[in-house]
Amino acid sequence: MKLISACLLGIKCAWDGQDNYKSDKAIELLNSETLIPVCPEQLGGLKTPRAPQEIQGGTGEDILDGKCKVLNIDGEDVTQKFITGAEETLKIVRLFHIEEFIGKSKSPSCGCWQIYDGTFSRKLIDGDGVTTALLKRNGISVITEEDL
C-alpha cells in the first residue's frame, strides 16, 4: 500500500481546479498496488480552486523549522494550512502503516528534490515540499510521478 498525490490519479484538487494526470503510469500501478490518494492542501483547509502558492525563501524543511513562509500569489500567508495538511497526511500514513509516498513533482506540498523558488515564474530550486519534508522526517520514502 502506498500514498499518492490525489491529483496524479485525476482527482481535480489542484490549485486551478484541475488535476495533474499526465500519464497512465500511476493508474497502471493500481493493478498491482493499493494507492491511497491524498491532497495535503485540501486536508490543510485550503479551498479548490485557490490562488497559486509557493514557499518563499526556503524549502519544506525550512517551513517545518519555522524559518520561512508559504505565501499565495496575492501575498496571503498560508503557512499554517500547509503544515496542518502535512500533519494530517502523516496521520493517514500512520493509520495505514504506509512506507512510501508518490508525490506530485515540484509542488510546494508534495514535491520531492525540486520545488518552485517562490517567484511564481516556474523557476526551480533544490528542496522538498512541506508534506514531503515531514514524511521524510518520519522515515517515509518519497518519489514522484517522474520516477514511475
* Footprint of ligand SF4 (CB under 6 A): 5-7, 13-14, 20, 39-41, 104, 107, 109-110
Q: Is 119 helix (H, G, I), strand (E, B) or coil?
A: coil
CB-wise, 56 or 115, nearer to ligand SF4? 115
Rounded to whole angstroms, the Cα distance separating 120 from 20 reads 18
Contact 123, 117 (CB under 8 A): yes
Bridge partners (DSSP) of residue 139 are: none
Cell of 49: 480552486
Task: Kindly state the smallest distance separating residue 109's Cβ from ligand SF4, in Å.
Answer: 4
Task: Kindly state the smallest distance separating residue 15's Cβ from ligand SF4, in Å.
Answer: 7
CB-wise, 7 or 90, nearer to ligand SF4? 7
Task: Kindly state the smallest distance separating residue 97's Cβ from ligand SF4, in Å.
Answer: 21
CB-wise, 58 or 60, nearer to ligand SF4? 60
CB-wise, 13 or 142, nearer to ligand SF4? 13
Rounded to whole angstroms, the Cα distance separating 4 from 143 reads 10
What is the DSSP secondary structure assignment for residue 104, as one 8-state letter? P
